[in-house]
């Protein structure tokens, strides 16, 4: 329903023109004795910067709508479970073992977030992605997630995946966050700008010779990192969403961390029905993949 040729053609003329992306896999030639570690690091930093500069810009007007629903586990329905592989607790695995609170709608547009006052629960919306995410404090700083609504689908035996710590991939020259990546740590060191406020230290890359890189990934997971950065108090979260997410930038704040025991949330993202221009699924996938640059630069 979002892929009709007429609407697809309408959106395509607003997409950014592609630019040549430079590969950083090749190594620079050094002296006869070979490049030093310092030379390698300088080359890596230069290459990452060049690639980021050559990314397409975000198409003007690109937007999506999202909602963050606070979630509490109901241990009277299902007792607290352990997570054998990592040794900490996991959220319930049956969909009825939660208490869910409906959150407010927000709109991400051109890199900034504002309340979507024109959207309510009766507004016809088409889903893009959903994720359920839980803090693991105080056992560990890891976050557990599934890429669906755990209140409408049982997690136990779900073919889409069961509770999983956040994973990562390298996409272009960015750290890409999802639930099914091939890396348990960031492929590049985290930036002091957004680590540990957005991404806990437990996920940091161990290779200190690599340059810090920007963060991209599945939109619901990125939004959950923003929400977990501050206290669950809706007033704090509203302020953070509106004032600390900037185009390709994270502005650190002084609120207490929101990664507290038993805190969970469902983050639902939707196509924006009020968008001035029609954007296809591919535009949002490109946003996730870093084709328009990082969501949060280093």
Query: pLDDT tens for residues 245-279?
Result: 999 999 999 999 999 999 999 999 999 998 866 67
CA 73 to chain CA centroid, Å, is 23
Contacts of 143 (CB under 8 A, 6+ apart): 133, 134, 135, 136, 165, 166, 200, 224, 228, 259
Of 132, 136, 126, 157, the closest CA to residue 224 belongs to 132
- Cis amide prior to 138 (ω within 30 degrees): yes
Strand-strand pairing, 88-90 and 249-250: unpaired
Ranges of beta strands (E only) in the chain are 63-73, 81-83, 88-90, 98-100, 105-109, 112-115, 127-135, 143-146, 164-165, 167-171, 174-178, 215-217, 245-246, 249-250, 264-271
Tokens of 194: 């957004």
pLDDT-derived band at 55 (thresholds 50, 70, 90) equals low
DSSP code for 233:
-
- Tell me the per-residue pLDDT of 1-54, one tens digit each, with 9 for 90 and over: 433 333 333 333 333 333 333 333 333 333 334 444 444 444 344 444 444 444
pLDDT at 277: 62
Mean pLDDT of 164-175: 94
Reply yes or no on whether the pLDDT at 208 is more than 60: yes
């Amino acid at each position: 329903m979002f892929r009709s040729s007429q609407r697809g053609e309408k959106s395509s003329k607003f997409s950014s023109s592609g630019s040549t992306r430079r590969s950083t896999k090749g190594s620079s030639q050094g002296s006869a004795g070979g490049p030093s570690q310092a030379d390698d690091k300088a080359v890596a930093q230069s290459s990452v910067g060049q690639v980021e500069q050559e990314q397409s810009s975000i198409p003007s007007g690109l937007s999506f709508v999202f909602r963050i629903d606070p979630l509490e586990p109901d241990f009277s329905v299902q007792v607290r479970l352990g997570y054998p592989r990592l040794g900490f607790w996991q959220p319930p695995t049956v969909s009825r073992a939660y208490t869910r609170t409906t959150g407010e709608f927000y709109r991400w547009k051109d890199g900034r977030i504002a309340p979507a006052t024109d959207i309510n629960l009766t507004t016809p919306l088409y889903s893009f992605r959903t994720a359920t995410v839980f803090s693991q404090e105080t056992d560990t700083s890891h976050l557990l997630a599934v890429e669906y609504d755990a209140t409408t689908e049982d997690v136990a035996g779900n073919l889409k995946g069961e509770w999983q710590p956040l994973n990562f991939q390298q996409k272009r020259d960015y750290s890409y966050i999802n639930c099914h990546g091939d890396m348990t740590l960031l492929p590049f060191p985290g930036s002091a700008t957004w680590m540990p406020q957005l991404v806990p230290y437990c996920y940091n890359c161990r290779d200190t010779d690599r340059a810090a890189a920007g963060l991209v990934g599945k939109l619901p997971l990125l939004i959950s990192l923003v929400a977990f950065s501050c206290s669950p108090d809706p007033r704090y979260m509203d302020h953070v969403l509106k004032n600390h997410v900037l185009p390709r930038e994270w502005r650190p704040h002084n609120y207490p961390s929101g990664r507290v025991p038993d805190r969970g949330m469902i983050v639902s993202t939707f196509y924006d029905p009020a968008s001035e221009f029609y954007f296809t699924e591919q535009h949002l996938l490109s946003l996730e993949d870093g084709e328009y640059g990082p969501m949060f630069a280093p």
